[in-house]
Amino acid sequence: MKTVREAIRGFYGMADLPPAAGPLEACALAERLASAGASIVQLRQKGADAARLLTGKMTSEAFLERVRAEYPGFKKIAQHYVLMSYVLTRDREKTALFLRSEGEALEKTASKQPLVKKELERAKAFIL
């Protein structure tokens, strides 16, 4: 078995993608970084859909539709962003409705993921 030092060789590749970049561009960039010797790759995309959602510049409906159309495997993660957006934009009504409709699934995820648990607790406290 390799030691950590043996397993992690090369450099840490980090790059910012433009807001309009999609999954194909992200994969291509990650592959180029890995081919150049990066053992860890971090891609950032400021101004992308999640950022617009969290700042209230994109509706949750538009965000979820975009996820359904372009990133079908990320629906669960998208739900967490929607919940965060309702709390961050101070929309108690939407937060409460969302917790009623998606609460059971969020609770299940929260039992395994501490960050989701924290966001769920924050949302529950917000609507009190």
The string of DSSP codes covering 45-62 is: -TTSHHHHHHTTSS-HHH
Domain positions in the chain? 1-46, 47-128
Helix or strand holding residue 18 (H, E): none
Residue 73 to residue 117: CA distance in whole angstroms:
21
110: Cα within 13 Å, side-chain hemisphere: 19
Tens digit of pLDDT per residue, the chain (128 long)? 777 766 666 778 888 777 667 667 777 888 888 888 887 887 776 657 777 788 888 899 998 888 888 777 778 878 888 998 999 899 999 999 999 999 899 999 889 888 788 889 999 999 99
pTM of the model: 0.63
